A and B are shown apart, each in its own frame.
Chain A
């Protein structure tokens, strides 16, 4: 039987099931296969806050969305085209994310009476016509999986666990994907258990064959490779990229990397990742609390390490006093805030951008700290590297802001050549050189760095105001004011040492959309779409928030309207208004969820007229 193949430009698939159904594995396998086939893509894993939620419940549903295409993909997508629902709860939770007329692949075995009751369905939606506005494909995945394995004498538990590969196999057939990558994955993951390898591969192929032969599926789809820049790629999420960025910065500055950290969602993965890199000399210290996390990093910095501390908003609150100490002692340090919903404990597993004002202003006294932000998962690597460069060159703590969406989301990443990364020059004052603790470099205003162990340069630093030059304790009124101005001038001067901002679109026009951080993809998608429609709209995405790049004021002056979409109640917009006195318009979403690009597109229409 020959089946029709339709070519699509892009497709969004959402795998959804119980936490125990292996949806994250199915999703990430589909992602890797699709990436290797040359599509651009973006993913959004969405799992419950409960570690092992009871089976079949609405709050136990785990989802993984992947958006892939033959042209540039910048977000995981607003609504999915295809929903794979392994049980009734997964359908119930995710149906609102499915486009009208979209495809549902349902595991009928996950819609038994118990499942229906837990999901709150009075009757089975697969059989009562309630889904008739969608293309519904029902398959008894559990039964088919069991049949595929019946001669292997495996336990029911093992058989149950392979059913995600049946669903994956069907999806591979439907979207014309190769099974090779996943077969390699299975062989590698279970290499000590040949019977499991055999079972999983057999089920994967059974899913494919079922879709190929059954008459349920009449059409298959193909998404041709995207035109991505040449080179070697891998899939990367923001936390991994952040960790790798710091390892790279330590190598390129010839320093040891020291991480002082206390576990906190969604930042802990950076601690996990870095704790593996012991053969790089990386030292990770899981401290007793957030304060000790940063305090230990300050101690390591005093000793000559590239010192960092990772956390999320509540942790930053606890570290605040110590950040001031690093400002006063002018020691290099990077504070990474993987932002989550706040205030207080807030929404630990959900994303938000509400710690910007905390980063820019949240300290006692005049304590300027550079603030930079990553815009995509892969960009976290480069911004971690950049944060390290600024901290070491200017002898200052630096804030690197990422967020839960970047931390857990992934994208294909063009792997950088380590040789292409610029060295980060660091100078420790040597024994035979002159040393005055607070003597400053003329161009950067950074103070000298002499580390313990260097003979002849024994000196004391601390949190009490320093005399200009000597660094001795000083309560002199004029000196205090002078030091405040010097520390401010040092940080302001960083503006001369960062690239000018680049704008996506025309330099003048009716509307400029300004974003920062993880909203990059959603804003870009919306602006691209509106530009294609002929609208006079451009996009500026800020990576440097304090200090701003030098040309921001000039860019702003070229536009009649300014729109600032943020996942907070209006924070960047306050800074923009106070710096540039512009009448910017805010678009604020504070639901713990990323922007849909359509939300931004609609706002653009509202401002410019549809």
Chain B
């Protein structure tokens, strides 16, 4: 960092101060529709923030445009509510310039995957140490109900009165395909799970991507109820746990077995298969992560939720800093006089 920044910035990375969730709540009225899934996400984020021991002045929330992107206004940290799709690019510049900051990106399915798709994949590829929270509600809420890049095929919306003919993105598979090092999925109506996933995302060194199934009760109510409501959740969702076999069902009586590369549901009670036949989740195994991701829109299989992948790769801004240090060590700190006078010079007397 240069002198002027050093004069004002808190150099302490780990706060002595004990925060509470309330410390992260800003003075602005929260203006999402009553009943919106975003409220739960805001509450869980505010609840886990104190656990990081990061001075709150070192935390920045960056967002684009959409309902989710109002998020920074409600966090009592630094915040930047930017333009549609560009939060990832703005956050990249911020993090490269200021690796000392903890940077969060809050985005939605339209913001991240449609207008901001390019920046999204390139951020994951570069692996900056930032965290992406993607609120997926499978609809455009702020523009009042058009289909989004995650809306299902055939979806009837204001802009698709005869049903959408677009194939939806699978955000987890897209993140994995973009070389994301930490890729996870959680649910707005499962606070405990969400808190845990957000904590793990924050701990991960490198880009963390968290897809959050979020209910838009105005324009797409119940889109995820199969996975979030008590009646159906146990039979429809499989929670991924590192090192553990893939088991689900209200009575924990079903599992996922790999038949070649194809995941299949098997019964643990019909005597054919036992736990030892099941696929064991391994967050370090990228091949398995893809198999799990591809279970997403398969109606014969439960929907995986949890951490798909958690691997390490060089972190972009660290590599940038390394080159700067290397150059300073080799050439000495830059001197203006030297570069102005570089190349052939001559005197006119």
Contact = CB atoms under 8 A, between A and B. Distances in A.
Interface of A: 32, 35-36, 38, 181, 185, 225, 228-235, 244, 247-248, 250-251, 253-256, 258, 260, 277-283, 285, 287-289, 291-292, 295-305, 307, 321-322, 324-325, 329, 415-416, 418, 426, 428-431, 450-464, 472-473
B250 interface: no
Contacts of A280: 333-334
Contacts of A418: 336-337, 340
Given A279-B333, A418-B337, A452-B98, A460 B4 contact: no
B345 interface: yes
Nearest to B78: A452
Nearest to A226: B348
A451 to B, nearest CB: 7
A292 B81 contact: no
5 contacts: A254-B3, A283-B320, A296-B93, A302-B90, A460-B80
A289 B117 CA distance: 12
B246 to A, nearest CB: 36
A464 B340 contact: no
Contacts of A307: 93, 97
Interface string B327-348: 1101111101101111111111
B81 A462 contact: yes
A258 B60 contact: no
Given A297-B93, A298-B93, A232 B347 contact: yes
A232 to B, nearest CB: 5
B347 A256 contact: no
B101 A303 contact: yes
A329 to B, nearest CB: 8
A473 B82 contact: no
A473 B100 CA distance: 28
Interface stretch (B7-15, B151-159, B180-188, B284-292): B7-15
A392 to B, nearest CB: 11
A322 B64 CA distance: 12
Nearest to B122: A288
A427 to B, nearest CB: 9
A197 to B, nearest CB: 18
Given A281-B334, A304-B5, A244 B340 contact: yes
A304 B98 contact: yes
A453 B101 contact: yes
Nearest to B121: A288
A277 B93 CA distance: 18
A32 B343 CA distance: 10
Contacts of A248: 336, 340
Nearest to A258: B97
A512 B167 CA distance: 63
A337 B332 CA distance: 32
B97 A304 contact: yes
Interface in B46-101: 55-60, 62, 65, 72-73, 75-83, 86, 89-98, 100-101
B251 interface: no
Contacts of A329: 80
A292 B119 contact: yes
A258 B96 contact: yes
Nearest to B3: A254
A304 B4 contact: yes
B201 to A, nearest CB: 20
B124 to A, nearest CB: 11
